[in-house]
Structure 1
Amino acid sequence: MSESDSLKDTVCNRRIFLLGTATTFAGAFLAACGSEPGLEVAATDVPVGSAAIFNGFIIAQPSAGSYVAYSQECPHQRNPITEVEGDTVRCTAHNSVFNIADGSVVSGVARDSLTPATVEQEGEKLRVRT
């Protein structure tokens, strides 16, 4: 086998390796992009007339059996909302307060309402996604 034949085999193998790696990466990337982040919690974990915060979501039950959900991210500067105070939630970074029933601003520097999420009830489970 000549040196040029050996070099051709190396180049060919390198091309196949790089093509395979790129294909694998693209498949994993597309699979990750196609999946929606979500959450499943027990409906009993969300108090009536208040809310609870779970893994990036605020889930509220303004009235018995009526559920709404929002992103935990404050619309002001994207800090996490970390406190539930009765029928409101508060971002402690700049003290913006939001109504749990509709996500509207009650007080503070935030101008935009909370970003809604989709919540579906299936029996005693709540499924939330963006």
Structure 2
Amino acid sequence: MTSASSQHAAGPARRTVVAAAGAAGLAAALTACGSSDNSSDKVNTGSGSSGTTGGAGGGSAGGTALAKTSDIPEGGGRIFKDQGVVVTQPTAGTFKAFSAKCTHQGCAVGSVTGGAIVCPCHNSHFSIADGSVKQGPATQPLPAEKITVSGEDIKLA
């Protein structure tokens, strides 16, 4: 009997091992379903940049080149997945940029259609003009991103 009692003392109980494995699996599942964005670490107080073709803005200003103004349809927009940004043109010559990460659960938005930026995960719709929620379940607007428009070039600032 001495050997049986020493087995229990030498390692964790079976229940402890099973409970720990279950907890680890649950944590992994919650991490996969939750937002992987660091939006709580990133505060963007900008209201989106607007510009017109030929508007002010340094031609030699730094930034990541995104597109030409002609690449962004009037009344629509284009998603730049690699940069995590959506650029829209709500009215002729006015360009706006927003995060491409849905504020509901962090999914990447999937399309710009009918004057809205649409998230495919739960069908949230956001305004192309100001990023505000047009249809939930999202309750927070898309954060504005800063862009510059110089001539025909749109750059992420």
Identity of aligned residues (%): 35
Aligned to 2:141: 113
**Deviation at 1:37?**
8.0
One-letter amino acid of the structure 1 residue matched with residue 154 of structure 2: L
Structure 2 unaligned spans of 5+:
1-61
Counterparts of residues 12-51 of structure 1 (less than 5 Å): 38-51=64-77
2:96 paired with 1:68: yes
Whose helix proportion is higher, 1 or 2?
A: 1
**Deviation at 1:106?**
0.5
One-letter amino acid of the structure 1 residue matched with residue 111 of structure 2: E
Aligned to 2:48: none
1:17-63 deviations in Å (ceiling 9; x for gaps): xxxxxxxxxxxxxxxxxxx9844211110001111111321000001
One-letter amino acid of the structure 1 residue matched with residue 116 of structure 2: T
Structure 2 CA distance for aligned equivalents of residues 52 and 126 of structure 1: 12
What is the TM-score of this pair, normalised by structure 2? Answer: 0.56
**Deviation at 1:122?**
0.9
One-letter amino acid of the structure 2 residue matched with residue 40 of structure 1: L
Moved over 6 A (4+): none
Secondary structure of the corresponding residue to residue 44 of structure 1:
helix
Aligned to 1:125: 153
Q: Which has the higher contact order (CA 8 A, sep 6+)?
A: 2
Number of residues of Structure 1 aligned to a counterpart in Structure 2: 94
Check whether the contact 1:51–1:86 (CA below 8 A) recurs between aligned residues: no
What is the TM-score of this pair, normalised by structure 1? Answer: 0.68
Whose strand proportion is higher, 1 or 2?
A: 1
Structure 2 CA distance for aligned equivalents of residues 69 and 54 of structure 1: 10
Identify which of 118, 123, 126 aligns with 1:95: 123
Structure 1 CA distance for aligned equivalents of residues 63 and 102 of structure 2: 18
**Deviation at 1:86?**
2.3
